[in-house]
Structure 1
Amino acid sequence: MSRTGETAEVEQLRYAWRVLSVISMASILIALGSSSLNVALPDVVRHFDAGAAAANWILLSYMLANTVLLVVFGRLADMFGRRTMYLLGLATYTVASLLLGFAPGAWFLVGLRVVQAAGGAMLLANSAALLADAFPPRHMARGMGVYIASFSVAQLVGPTLGGYLTHRFGWEWVFWYNVPIGLLCLVRGAVVLRKVGGRGGDRGIDVPGNLLVLVGLGGLLIGLSEVGDRSWGDPVVVACLALFAVLVPVFLIVERRSVRPVVDVGLFRDVPFALGLLTSFLNAVSRMAVVLLIALFYQAVHGEDPVSAGLKVLPLPVAAMIASACSGMLHSRLAPRTIVLLSTSVGTAGLLVLLLEMSVEVGYAPIACGLVLVGVGSGMFMPANTTAMLDGIAPDRIGIVNAMRLMIQNTGVVVSTALAMSLVTSALPAGLRDRVFDGTISHVAPHALAQLVTGYRLALLVMAVISALAVLASLGRPRAADDPADAAGRTGRRSPAPDGVSPPPSG
Structure 2
Amino acid sequence: MVAIPPDVPGSPEYTLKLRYAWRVCSVASLGMLLIGISGSTLNVALPEVVRHFHADAFASGWILLAFLLVNTASLVFFGRVADLLGRKEVYLAGFALFAVASLLAGLSPGVWFLIAMRVIQAVGAAMILANGTVIITDAFPPDRLSQGMGVYIGTLSVAQLTGPTLGGLVAQAAGWQWIFWVNVPPALVAVVWGGFTLHRLPRGPREPVDALGNILVFALLSAALVTLSEAGSRGLSSPVVIVGAVVVAALTPALFVVERRVSHPVLDVRLFGQRMLAFANLASFCSALARAALILLVALYFQAARGVDSVTAALSVLPLPIGLGIASPIAGALGRRISPYALSVGGALVSTAGLAMLMLTTDPATPYWIVGTGLLLCGCGNGAFLTGNTTQVMAALPSGSLGVVNGFRLMIINVGVVLSVAVTLSVLTSAVTPELRAQVYAGTLSSVSPVAVGQLMDGFQRTYAVLFAVALTGVLASVLSRPTRSGPTPPESAPPGPSGSTGAAVAMTGTDPVAMTGSDPVASGADGAPVPRRADGNPASR
TM-score, scaled to structure 2: 0.89
Deviations 1:448-469 (A, max 9, x none): 1000000000000011011111
Name the structure 2 match of 1:92: 97
Name the structure 2 match of 1:375: 379
Equivalent-residue separation in structure 1 for 2:116 and 2:306 (angstroms): 32
**What is the correspondence of 1:19-38 to structure 2 with a 5 Å cutoff?**
19-38=24-43
CA distance 1:2–1:240, change in 2 (3 Å): farther
SS at match of 1:170: coil
**What is the correspondence of 1:11-410 to structure 2 with a 5 Å cutoff?**
11-199=16-204, 202-410=206-414
Name the structure 1 match of 2:3: 2
AA at the equivalent of 2:323: A
Equivalent-residue separation in structure 1 for 2:524 and 2:468 (angstroms): 42
Deviations 1:291-320 (A, max 9, x none): 100011111112211111100000000001
Is 1:494 the counterpart of 2:499 in the alignment?
no
Deviation at 1:280, TM superposition (A): 0.6
Name the structure 1 match of 2:426: 422
Deviation at 1:384, TM superposition (A): 1.4
Moved more, 236-245 or 314-323: 236-245
Moved more, 400-409 or 444-453: 444-453
Deviation at 1:332, TM superposition (A): 3.7
CA distance 1:22–1:427, change in 2 (3 Å): same
Equivalent-residue separation in structure 2 for 1:327 and 1:491 (angstroms): 29
CA distance 1:12–1:479, change in 2 (3 Å): closer
Deviation at 1:37, TM superposition (A): 0.3
Equivalent-residue separation in structure 2 for 1:262 and 1:488 (angstroms): 19
**Counterpart contact for 2:146–2:336, Cα < 8 Å:** no
**Counterpart contact for 1:78–1:397, Cα < 8 Å:** no
**Counterpart contact for 2:271–2:277, Cα < 8 Å:** yes
AA at the equivalent of 2:120: V
Identical counterparts, % of pairs: 43
**Counterpart contact for 2:161–2:318, Cα < 8 Å:** yes
Equivalent-residue separation in structure 1 for 2:341 and 2:231 (angstroms): 37
Equivalent-residue separation in structure 1 for 2:16 and 2:523 (angstroms): 18
Equivalent-residue separation in structure 1 for 2:413 and 2:522 (angstroms): 27
Deviation at 1:385, TM superposition (A): 1.4
Deviation at 1:248, TM superposition (A): 1.9
Equivalent-residue separation in structure 1 for 2:238 and 2:404 (angstroms): 38
Return 5+ residue gaps in structure 2 as ranges: 488-510, 533-542
Equivalent-residue separation in structure 2 for 1:465 and 1:347 (angstroms): 12
Match of 1:413 among 417, 432, 448: 417
**Counterpart contact for 1:272–1:477, Cα < 8 Å:** yes
Equivalent-residue separation in structure 2 for 1:410 and 1:389 (angstroms): 16
Q: How many residues align?
A: 501
Name the structure 1 match of 2:446: 442
Moved more, 222-231 or 336-345: 336-345
**Counterpart contact for 2:146–2:333, Cα < 8 Å:** no
Deviation at 1:430, TM superposition (A): 0.7
SS at match of 1:228: helix
Moved more, 339-348 or 374-383: 339-348
TM-score, scaled to structure 1: 0.95
**Counterpart contact for 1:197–1:396, Cα < 8 Å:** no
AA at the equivalent of 1:494: D
**Counterpart contact for 1:36–1:158, Cα < 8 Å:** yes
SS at match of 2:233: coil
SS at match of 1:14: helix
**Counterpart contact for 1:272–1:481, Cα < 8 Å:** no
Deviations 1:385-427 (A, max 9, x none): 1122222433343111111000000000000000001111111
Equivalent-residue separation in structure 2 for 1:217 and 1:92 (angstroms): 23
Deviations 1:81-139 (A, max 9, x none): 10000110000000100000000011110011000000000000000011111111111
SS at match of 2:307: coil
**Counterpart contact for 2:24–2:136, Cα < 8 Å:** yes
**Counterpart contact for 1:219–1:243, Cα < 8 Å:** yes
Deviation at 1:482, TM superposition (A): 9.8
Equivalent-residue separation in structure 1 for 2:415 and 2:19 (angstroms): 35
SS at match of 1:491: helix
Deviation at 1:237, TM superposition (A): 1.6
AA at the equivalent of 1:166: A
Equivalent-residue separation in structure 2 for 1:478 and 1:150 (angstroms): 27
Equivalent-residue separation in structure 2 for 1:503 and 1:242 (angstroms): 48
SS at match of 1:402: helix
SS at match of 2:516: coil
CA distance 1:54–1:187, change in 2 (3 Å): same
**Counterpart contact for 2:105–2:177, Cα < 8 Å:** yes
Deviation at 1:226, TM superposition (A): 1.4
Equivalent-residue separation in structure 2 for 1:28 and 1:481 (angstroms): 36
